[in-house]
């Protein structure tokens, strides 16, 4: 009779261990799945931010090109700073 009790306890403990292992695997599978979804959202957010920054960079490059045109620099020099082009007699070439 004690052998039957021992066998039954072994079967029950084996079943409990098996259930614990399966529950642990399910827990980790669920956790990894949630983490992968969360990482997907982060990646999409970063890609969106990258596109916005690239658009902003293009706008800044266009603005820089407009601000550094020779015509604009000449206009600011003459109107705001009062500068004029030198006459031919005012230029001395140093060699």
Rounded CA-CA distance 61/25 in Å is 53
81-95 mean pLDDT: 87
Q: Which residue has the tokens 């999409």?
A: 44
Shortest CA distance to 85 belongs to which of 70, 77, 69? 77
Asked if pLDDT for residue 4 goes beyond 90, the answer is no
Domain boundaries, the chain: 2-83
Asked if pLDDT for residue 5 goes beyond 90, the answer is no
- pLDDT tens digits, one per residue of 18-62: 999 999 999 999 999 999 999 999 999 999 999 999 999 999 999
Helix (H) or strand (E) holding 21: helix 2-67
Supply the Cα-derived Rg of the chain in whole angstroms: 39
Cα angle 67, 68, 73; round to 5? 95
Q: What's the whole-model pTM score? A: 0.58
**Banded model confidence at residue 1, pLDDT cuts 50, 70, 90:** low
């Amino acid at each position: 009779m004690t052998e039957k009790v021992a066998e039954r306890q072994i079967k029950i403990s084996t079943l409990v261990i098996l259930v614990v292992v399966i529950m642990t695997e399910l827990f980790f599978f669920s956790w990894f799945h949630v983490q992968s979804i969360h990482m997907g959202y982060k990646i999409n957010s970063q890609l969106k931010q990258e596109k916005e920054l690239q658009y902003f960079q293009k706008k800044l490059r266009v603005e820089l090109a407009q601000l550094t045109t020779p015509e604009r620099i000449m206009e600011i020099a003459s109107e705001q700073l009062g500068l004029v082009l030198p006459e031919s007699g005012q230029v001395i070439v140093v060699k």
